[in-house]
Chains A and B, each alone.
Chain A
Amino acid sequence: MQAPLPVELQGQIGQRLREAYVELINEPVPDRFVELLQKLKQREEESKEDSRDEK
């Protein structure tokens, strides 16, 4: 196994990584995802109603 990096360098890399990642996390979420979940939930409720009607 390769020798681990000195802690100081691990820290520098970790910081860069988190900075780049937080930048991505902070991007606004497109509406399509909220809409998708609403649609999935709606479909679920409709199918429940359908199965109730069948009984």
Chain B
Amino acid sequence: MTKSDDDLQALLIGAVPNLRAFANSLCGDPTRADDLVQDTLVKAWSNLEGFEKGSNLKAWLFTILRNTYFSELRKRRREVEDADGAMAERMSVLPEQHVHMDLVDFKKAFGVLSDDQKEVLLLVGAEGFSYEEAAEITNAAVGTVKSRVNRARVALNKALGFEAGESFNPNSEFVGITRAAGRG
């Protein structure tokens, strides 16, 4: 595939709606999401030699996007770390979320996930990448991806207040602690 290839143009443009959806879901800011997509396209274009012919172009683009996002995030965090470390600590305490199953609530619930959880859930659950592909994109072990997806689902479920069957009680750990305390 060469840069003058019309197919390449079409493939890159074809990937834009998915890249935007992924970026938007990850950072929650449409303007920043579009900047991320733009950076991704420029990087992809200038590193086209690094793309292995015959491999998954979409997975490659997603890799570039998430790497760009996380390196920016690390940079920003370093810049503000000293200023509001205490703030970040307070923010990490998740707000109590309640019930209802419409999309607005879903999006709100999604916002309580960590970035690590968001990205794997999006890749596997929304984009339909395999666990192996998601592992490659995020540069993590397959087992790590599986457990992140699982934790993301559990956290989402809790935030959405979905009714669970007998086999799942989100408060079981808490009950366990109070019982143990009562006995002691």
Q: Could you tell me if B21 and A41 are in contact, using CB atoms closer than 8 angstroms? A: no
Please, which residue of chain B has its CB at the minimum distance from the CB of A5? B153
CB atoms of B3 and A20 under 8 A apart: no
B18 close to A (CB within 8 Å): yes
Alpha-carbon distance A3/B150, docked complex (angstroms): 8
A51 lies within 8 A of chain B by Cβ:
no
Map CB proximity to B onto A20-38 as digits: 1 under 8 Å, 0 otherwise. Answer: 1101111101101110111
Give how many A-B residue pairs fall within 8 Å (CB-CB): 105
Q: Mark B63-93, 1 if CB is under 8 A from A, else 0.
A: 0000000000000000000000000000000
User: How many residues on chain B are close to A (CB under 8 Å)?
Assistant: 41
Chain A interface size band reads: 35 or more
Measured CB to CB, the closest approach of chain B to A26, in angstroms, equals 8
Per the bound structure, the CA–CA distance linking A26 and B167 in Å amounts to 37
Q: Taking beta carbons and an 8 Å cutoff, which residues of A are in contact with B? A: 1-6, 8-10, 12-14, 16-21, 23-27, 29-30, 32-34, 36-38, 40-41, 44-45
